[in-house]
Chain A
Amino acid sequence: MSAPLAALDAQTIVDAIGLGAVYALMAVGIGLVFGVLRLVNFAYGQLVMVGAYTLAFTSHWPVAAGIAACFAVVVALSIVMDRVLFRPLRGQSPAVMLVATFAVAFMLQAAALLVDIRDGTIGEIAGSIASFNRAIVVGGVEVRKITIAAVIVAAVALGLLALLLARTTIGLHMRAAATDFGTARLLGVRANRVIGLAVVLSGVLAATVAVILTVQNPFVGPDFALRETIVVLVGVVVGGIDRLWTATLGGFAIGFATGVINGVLPTDKSVYLPSAVFALVILVLLVRPAGLFAWGRAAAERV
């Protein structure tokens, strides 16, 4: 007799919210670049990976310096990716862009392996910030400090981004570029500025995710965040990649759902968890190809 489903308790929900928050941040990073470049960056997870490695290699530095280094390196890499990869690929077919960014993803992973393995083992430890992983107990539920931090950081980051997009001129330009780039340029919107900002913000978000994930799991390997990136990508498309908020919601939803299912399914049944999740994904896409949360003028043609 297999174990019954565990009751949905507060612990599971809290952990699921934390996971959802992190996935939401990644979703925004992916969605921002897609919005202005119409490009799905398969190598996005590698930005997070590089951030994690930076934290690992600067483990002996003071924490703040290590985090600053992480941000610097990831944003720089994001900018380089745009110059070297995105720019030449602009306007190409989705298949070409997909495979090219896919190729870069594998390339960066292999490069990380090369650097990592010099000391003979795979994996580095990001020790200095692991201390944030301790838990506090709130109302009988063990909440890790980092989960609280993740939710707060995600909320603040998303709030700031929403303000930027809604209230500032450059935000207006970005929104216009994401809606109709050609007309936006016609009106004087500087393509390179808008794309540059999207790329930098995307990098900042990736660095943030790197910090949060490394605290939760200090063991950094070349496939760090690979699984998460794939899941987030799926979540973004399921949510609706065409608008930033539907993409974010999709990322959060798939993170939350994964957390809940993980907590509720008994261990012997949960080997088929990926199948359940992906079957659900297919179902959603069949019913609403433009995304679960997309409505009205479906942008299904766009993609």
Chain B
Amino acid sequence: MLEVDGLEVRYGAVPAVRNLSLSVAESEIVGLIGPNGAGKSTTLHAITGLTPAYAGDVRLDGRSILGLAPEAIARAGVALVPEGRRIFADFTVEENLRLGLAARRDGDGRGALAEAFELFPVLREFRRRSAGALSGGQQQQLAIGRALVAGPRVLLLDEPSLGLAPTVVDGVFDALVRIRERGVTIVLVEQRAQRTVALADRTEVLANGELRMTLGPKDAGDTARMVAAYLSA
């Protein structure tokens, strides 16, 4: 459904991502892990149009979305939960969610909000509060909810567990499972390798801008294999 084909992204003369090809099928959860600076965020930015690609293609349902404006890609059904969450701290929780509706193709804003509240009840509780007053975990839920109200086909998450306590991360990952059950495809970029590998249908390892190996859930307990994956840079 989402196809990345030979993607190359450069910062100046330096390639940050090289010849990256990745295929994601409908309702899959695909993990993308790797050390710092491997190019994971860059890949997501290229897919969503925040960063221009030097070469390659990105296709959604066979249609190329490379080079489109970020808002057009969002409206096509690709939603990103950015690194650091990037919520609007001065707006209320509800305003943040309503912002997410900008990419929604049908007009059912109310239904979308209801779904988000169902998934993350704390958002309903704090709907009139300033988003900046929320805790880190709650803000993460808001960021995900905001991406979901657009009714995306694909949900991309950039290190959602960053700065969160383990129990909170559990909650987030549980939510991802429920989101997948609603038919949303998920690409999860993470630093926490083990949990990602355990959760995802498959996990790709990215190092130095290139895909190195694929791991399955059964590899989650195999420390040696994980270390080898990271060190194969």
Contact = CB atoms under 8 A, between A and B. Distances in A.
Contacts of A189: 71, 99, 102
Nearest to B74: A188
Nearest to B78: A186
Interface in A122-179: 169, 172-173, 175-176, 179
Contacts of A175: 91
B95 A172 contact: yes
Between B80, B88, B101, B102, the greatest number of chain A beta carbons within 10 A of the residue's beta carbon is seen for B102
Give the secondary structure class of B's interface.
helix
A84 interface: no
A167 to B, nearest CB: 11
B90 A184 contact: no
A191 B98 contact: no
Given A184-B99, A187-B71, A188-B150, 10 more contacts: A180-B86, A180-B88, A185-B74, A186-B70, A186-B82, A187-B100, A188-B75, A188-B104, A189-B71, A189-B99
B187 interface: no
A176 B71 contact: no
A176 B91 CA distance: 9
26 contacts: A172-B98, A172-B99, A173-B99, A173-B102, A175-B91, A176-B99, A183-B88, A185-B71, A186-B50, A186-B70, A186-B74, A186-B82, A187-B71, A187-B74, A187-B99, A187-B103, A187-B146, A187-B147, A187-B150, A188-B71, A188-B101, A188-B103, A188-B104, A189-B71, A191-B69, A191-B71
Give the secondary structure class of A's interface.
helix
B71 A190 contact: yes
Interface string B190-231: 000000000000000000000000000000000000000000
B52 to A, nearest CB: 13
Contacts of B141: none
B48 interface: yes
A166 to B, nearest CB: 10
Interface string B32-56: 0000000000000000101000000
B88 A176 contact: yes
A182 interface: yes
Nearest to B75: A188
Nearest to A175: B91
A180 B75 CA distance: 19
A290 B167 CA distance: 40
Interface of A: 169, 172-173, 175-176, 179-180, 182-191
Interface in B91-124: 91, 95, 98-104
B87 to A, nearest CB: 8
Contacts of B69: 185, 191
A182 to B, nearest CB: 7
Size bin of chain B's contact surface: 20 to 34
B168 to A, nearest CB: 22
Contacts of B50: 182, 186
Contacts of B100: 187-188
A174 to B, nearest CB: 11
Contacts of B80: 186
Contact of B102 (A179, A180, A182, A187): A187
A187 B90 CA distance: 17
Between B75, B88, B91, B95, the greatest number of chain A beta carbons within 10 A of the residue's beta carbon is seen for B88
Contacts of B91: 172, 175-176
A190 B70 CA distance: 9
A191 B102 CA distance: 11
A185 B79 CA distance: 11
Contacts of A176: 88, 91, 99
A180 B99 CA distance: 12
A268 to B, nearest CB: 49
A260 to B, nearest CB: 33
Contacts of B150: 187-188
Q: List the 9 shortest-distance A-B pairs measured between CB atoms, nearest first.
A: A188-B103, A188-B102, A188-B74, A185-B70, A183-B86, A185-B71, A189-B102, A188-B71, A187-B99
A188 B70 CA distance: 7
A235 B98 CA distance: 34
Given A172-B95, A172-B98, A188-B102, A183 B71 contact: no
Contacts of B102: 169, 173, 184, 187-190
Contacts of A180: 86, 88
Contacts of A185: 69-71, 74
B98 A169 contact: yes
Contacts of A182: 50, 70
